Amino acid sequence: MAERAEGEEFRERFRKHMPKEVHDHFKAAREEMRKSVEALFPPEFVAHRKAARREMLLAARSLIDHALERMAKSDAG
């Protein structure tokens, strides 16, 4: 949790020193880059990649839930 707060703090400080115009250009460039990479692959690949990413995130969630349950059992017993 502390690492996340530190990351948010860093991003907020960074935003204060970066003009909004620069931020907007970076955001637009990132979006255009994503579109260009997706254009290289067939739509089926993009859909499969999205489904695979979702499954990986669900697996990570499952691991975290299991670890939290083990910690709770350890604390209780």
How far, in Å, are 17, 56, 63, 68 from residue 10 at the CA level? 11, 27, 28, 28
| Cβ partners under 8 Å of residue 41, min gap 6 | 49
CA–CA distance, 25 with 5 (Å, rounded to integer): 26
Predicted confidence band of residue 6 (pLDDT cuts 50, 70, 90): confident
> Which pTM was predicted?
0.55
Question: Which amino acid is residue 24, in one-letter code?
Answer: D
Identify the band that residue 1 occupies on the pLDDT scale cut at 50, 70 and 90: low
Please tell me the predicted confidence (pLDDT) of residue 2. Answer: 66
Give the three-class secondary structure for 41.
coil
pLDDT in tens, 17-65: 888 898 899 999 999 999 998 899 999 998 999 999 999 999 999 999 9
Cα–Cα distance measured from residue 16 to residue 11, given in angstroms and rounded to the nearest whole number:
9
pLDDT computed for residue 51 by the predictor: 98
